[in-house]
Amino acid sequence: MTITDFKKLKAFQLKRLKSCEVYSDGEYLFTFVNGMLEPSGYLRTQTEFNSQTANSVGGQSLEEILGEPICQA
């Protein structure tokens, strides 16, 4: 799926979307994983664990990328 198509989806549509890879200009960006569809929560828990592991290796926070503090509601 392209990032353009992904951004068109509303929250209620994302809740129904199957997991998929998202690309921009033919380059892989990320994998969307719908953890809401699996009743035991195993998939969501494992995805969160893997994400924490990936974050410990590299990447920047949203605040670092934008260069300004982000208000959290």
pLDDT digits (tens, 9 = 90+) for 30-43: 999 887 767 778 88
Q: What is the pTM assigned to this prediction? A: 0.72
Query: Which has the higher per-residue pLDDT, 19 or 41?
Result: 19
Tokens of 38: 């699996």
Tokens of 69: 């503090």
Complete DSSP assignment for 4-61 = HHHHH--HHHHTTPPPEEEEETTEEEEEE--TTSSTTSHHHHHHHHHHHHHHHHS---
